[in-house]
Amino acid sequence: MFTGIIEELGTVKDIKKGTKGARLTINAKVVLEGARIGDSITVNGVCLTAVRVTENSFEVDIAPETLKKTNLGEFKNGARVNLERALRLSDRLGGHLVTGHIDAAGVIKEKRKEGNSYRFFIEAPKEILRYVVQKGSVAIDGISLTVVDVTDRLFSAAIIPHTMSVTTLGIKGVGDTVNLETDIIGKYVEKMLGKGEKKIDEAFLKQHGFSK
């Protein structure tokens, strides 16, 4: 589990692609403090397992499904990436609960300057937008952000100067892809409301003592 508060920008040192996936090597510093083989680290919001750790880099394996569903397959040597270590139970939850399991990739359709900040407009699949709500949380390339508004085709988020300076959003522009993870709470609520054996509806609430 993660918080969506990026710890540092890493740099892709090497990516080797094959028919069975890929091996990615990333130069880093902060996330390597105390890192061991088997630890979870998010790379642009994707939860990956460190399979090799050195003094200034770590390596991860990427499954074919992950390459297909995220923007990790677009990486080239020298690309900057958002990095975050897994949440410890003693840590502050500065963002929101992020699993590192990407729902889909979105596309930046507009990057608009608004005062001291930028508004990003992200096009996303309809099956993703159903979980995106105004003033709710969403993770874009692993960054915990607040949704400004939502339409049937895209949503927007305001990015403050600090976030622009310490994440990949500062170097991304129109046409670039981003990994999207919607708030997991919405998915559980939907299942409870409509897909479980005990559907939570008006009749259920009345049966358990709730009434208008």
- Output the six-digit token pair for 75: 């990486």
Catalytic residue among 54, 146, 151, 165: 146
Distance between CA atoms of residues 102 and 106, nearest Å:
11
- Output the six-digit token pair for 35: 């890192």
**Vertex 96 angle, CA 183 and 78, to 5°:** 90
Catalytic residue among 11, 25, 35, 40: 40
- Output the six-digit token pair for 184: 């997991």
Verify whether residue 40 is a known catalytic residue: yes
In angstroms and rounded to an integer, the radius of gyration of the C-alpha atoms of the chain is 19
- Cβ-contact 139, 115 below 8 angstroms: no
Catalytic residue among 54, 63, 165, 204: 63
Q: Residue 181 is inside which H or E element, if any? A: strand 177-182
Catalytic residue among 22, 28, 49, 151: 49
Verify whether residue 47 is a known catalytic residue: yes
Catalytic residue among 54, 101, 151, 165: 101
Catalytic residue among 3, 22, 42, 47: 47
Verify whether residue 49 is a known catalytic residue: yes
Question: By C-alpha distance, which of 153, 147, 145, 151 is closest to 124?
Answer: 153
- Cβ-contact 80, 11 below 8 angstroms: yes
Verify whether residue 177 is a known catalytic residue: no
Q: Which residues are catalytic?
A: 2, 40, 47, 49, 63, 101, 146
